[in-house]
Amino acid sequence: MLEVLRDALFWLIGIEILGLAVLPLALRVSFGLPDGGYAIAKMLGLLVLGYIAWITGILGISSFTGATLVVLTAVLAAASWWLWGRELRNAWPSIKPMALGAEATFLAIFVVAALVRSFNAPIAGQEKQMDLTFLHALISSRALPAPDLWLAGYGMPYYYFGYLIQSLLGKALPVDPAAAYNLAVATVLALAAMGAFGIGSGLVRLAGASRRVSMALGALGAFALTIMGNLEAMFEVIAGAGIGDRGFWSMIGIKGLQQANGAGFPPVDGGWWFRAARVIPNIPPDGINEFPYFSFLLGDLHPHYMAIPLAIMIVTLACHELVIARPLRSDPVRLGIAAIVLGAVIPFNTWDVPIFWGIFALALAAAALQQPSPIAALVDRVKDLAATAVLALLCYLPYFVGYVSQPLGIGIVDDRTMFGSLFVLFGPLLVLALMGGVVGLLRRVGPAVSEGSRVALPSLVVGVVIALLLTVLKQPTLGFLAATLIYWATLTWLRLRELDSVAGVAAGVLMIAGLGSILIPEVVFLRDVFGSRMNTVFKFYYDAWILLAIAAPVIVWELVVAFREVSVSSLWVRPVAAASLAGAAVLVLGGTIYPVAATATKSSGALGAPTLDGMIHLRQFRSEDAAAIDWLRRNHPGVGVVEAVGDDYTDAGRFSTFAGVPTLVGWPGHEVQWRGPSPAVDQRKELARRVYTSSDVSVWRNDVQQTEMRFVVLGGLEREIYGPTAGVALDQAFPVIQQFGATKVYELVERTK
């Protein structure tokens, strides 16, 4: 436990130093928000430091080492405080309460998240081993671009910038990479909660709420985004109570949960918690629908998960553009940071580009439409967006050199998500989206003749008609989304015309983008190696969760205001607002079941005392291999090792992953996913087979030497894959440089006679 505390404390100190280093810069680019940018400072520090280290490393200006990062952090802090430290000191009294609330949110979530990871430490199962391979390569590499450890001699594929950002603390601090992995998983959740608190509380404050109410609703937003689960667990409770016939469960549409079982809750099946991310039954080969807390609990350090704090930072900067309504091109600092932040989406998680570049564009357009001369302002903002896009692409131009992607295309959806499944996935957020739009329009329906009263009621009617028509045509999901989008498009337009509060307009932009993120994969999808809309649904629904959760605090506040309002129209608005709040609250409680029960279920399988050591499973089940891995890391870092090539999602590639060394090929299927069809993958797989099965080493020695492999390992997995006689020729040809039980490490030099 002391080791857990030590590593977590080192990590926490590192992230706090980075946040403080750029705090004046954060204020400089978001001075119009109530917290002065405090909630995005830590992520901004990671991103700016990471970008500088990356661009100087990729251009050969500096090495990519821990010492370099320490020096760059010191320079960044000195520049930030020298240029804008006075402004921060002057602003601190006014932003202090919100800043302290954001910091408290970060610390609370980080501590809890690190504790949960300490009971779920093994980097095994799903794609964790792949993620550590990327992270370890960047932690170990002293130069950029980093190598692909799973295909020796090749550069790192995939969109790797999130791994680079998360590697920074691991490079600079005395924390083992396998522990750094688990701390990175915890850090992402804490940064996301902090960012959601900051923008949520800030928008509610700008909408007119008191500071206390704003902070309470900001905490609600942080909870909705990072902790709340979907409603799958709630329906597990219902099924366990024996409620519902087959027709009911068929309508709900949860894959793997087709009937009531009366078996109680939680299910005896220890893997029930995984069903929450595989709800949609009609998407081949597997309908993935993760949400942030599931991603955290699963522990895969994937780009879509690591990009959550970046997405929140983009939303924060977009909302700030709405608040200050000043051209970007007139402010080089704001323009430069916007370019670095928006450009980072491309190498971070390319799937996010259309949604989060889109929301930034919508915010610029909305800011222009509130100006006295909206057309001229809109033209000016288009120029701002173009300048930002060009600068962003220039900033990340080296990333595209040698970039290889799998073949892609566009497909038309012919089998949509069932409405029951959609409700399970987004229940409370959809209730807030629909009823927030309905109540916002109802408040404008009254005896006084105005543009709002003339447009609001027809909009409500049109939405109902379209929803009913599409439901009759057996497209209820499209009907719901179309109606809700109509309500929010109308309401946002009216708010722009009425020069309503910035928070109301921001909520409209977030709702339109969030609902659009759900609608897009119901119409078209990006055709990838899987040939279905699986990945499009996965990534776009994930973005929808983020955007709808960020908007939730403002919607709740608007419903509270509508409930309190006393006017002619309030006779029917107040009960609708009250029912909406009550319904959303019940569903939020339903969403709370998942994090509590799923965490308890998954953590019950902990391998002994709490630890952050991601190698704990190897130490217990392949202890001889683990000892050899530790020896290689200490004595021969970065030296190529031949090991067994097995199936994806297995322990194959374990030496490469945990020792941080290159190997012939790790998971062949993943290499093909990243690079497209590649002869090298099959050739390397066959070469590994020859190493362990040939009786004459001369048939493979030259081929292996050309890949710069220095060692061959022979452990339990090699014997499992290639048979009990695997490697018999190695003993005769090469010296055993180290041995741990039955696991041997051979050096590829001729044995001395």
The domain boundary residue, chosen from 573, 603, 633: 603
Beta strands in 354-512 (DSSP E): 409-412
The domain boundary residue, chosen from 568, 603, 638: 603
The token pair at 253 is 């549409």
Do 640 and 587 share a structural domain? no
3-state per-residue secondary structure call for 257-305 = ECCCCCCCCCCCCCCHHHHHHCCCCCCCCCCCCCCHHHHHHHCCCCHHH
Do 627 and 569 share a structural domain? no
Do 732 and 639 share a structural domain? yes
Do 569 and 541 share a structural domain? yes
Alpha carbon separation from 326 to 122, 274, 376, 456 (Å, rounded): 49, 46, 13, 30
Find out whether 276 and 232 touch, Cβ atoms under 8 Å.
yes
Find out whether 511 and 436 touch, Cβ atoms under 8 Å.
yes
pLDDT on residue 404: 62
pLDDT on residue 157: 82
Do 570 and 446 share a structural domain? yes
Do 575 and 474 share a structural domain? yes
Do 720 and 629 share a structural domain? yes
The token pair at 401 is 């050199």
CB atoms within 10 A of CB 67: 11
Do 639 and 560 share a structural domain? no
3-state per-residue secondary structure call for 201-267 = HHHHHHCCCCHHHHHHHHHHHHHHHHCCCCCHHHHHHHHHCCCCCHHHHHHHCECCECCCCCCCCCC
pLDDT on residue 530: 81
Could you say which residues of the chain have pLDDT below 50? 449
Find out whether 480 and 435 touch, Cβ atoms under 8 Å.
no
pLDDT on residue 444: 85
Find out whether 576 and 435 touch, Cβ atoms under 8 Å.
yes
β-strands 709-714, 640-642 pairing:
parallel
Rounded Cα distance between 375 and 150, Å, is 53
Q: Has residue 70 been placed in a domain?
A: no
Q: Which residues, listed in sequence order, are joined to residue 712 by a DSSP beta bridge?
A: 642, 746
Q: Has residue 116 been placed in a domain?
A: no
Q: Has residue 539 been placed in a domain?
A: yes
CA triplet 613, 600, 421: central angle to 5 degrees?
A: 110
The token pair at 258 is 């087709």
SS3 414: coil
Q: Has residue 650 been placed in a domain?
A: yes
Q: Has residue 453 been placed in a domain?
A: yes
**Enclosing domain of residue 688:** 622-747
pLDDT on residue 257: 85
The pTM is what?
0.96
Do 642 and 549 share a structural domain? no
Find out whether 174 and 10 touch, Cβ atoms under 8 Å.
yes
In tens, the pLDDT along 558-591 reads: 999 999 886 656 678 899 999 999 999 999 999 9
pLDDT on residue 500: 78
Q: Has residue 517 been placed in a domain?
A: yes
Per the structure, how many domains does the chain have? Answer: 2
Q: Has residue 479 been placed in a domain?
A: yes
3-state per-residue secondary structure call for 605-618 = CCCCCCCCCCCHHH
Q: Has residue 107 been placed in a domain?
A: no
Alpha carbon separation from 707 to 150, 151, 680, 698, 717 (Å, rounded): 12, 9, 11, 15, 22
In tens, the pLDDT along 305-344 reads: 999 999 999 999 999 999 998 899 999 999 999 999 999 9
Looking up tokens 């019950």 gives: 604
Do 448 and 571 share a structural domain? yes
Do 651 and 554 share a structural domain? no
Do 679 and 715 share a structural domain? yes
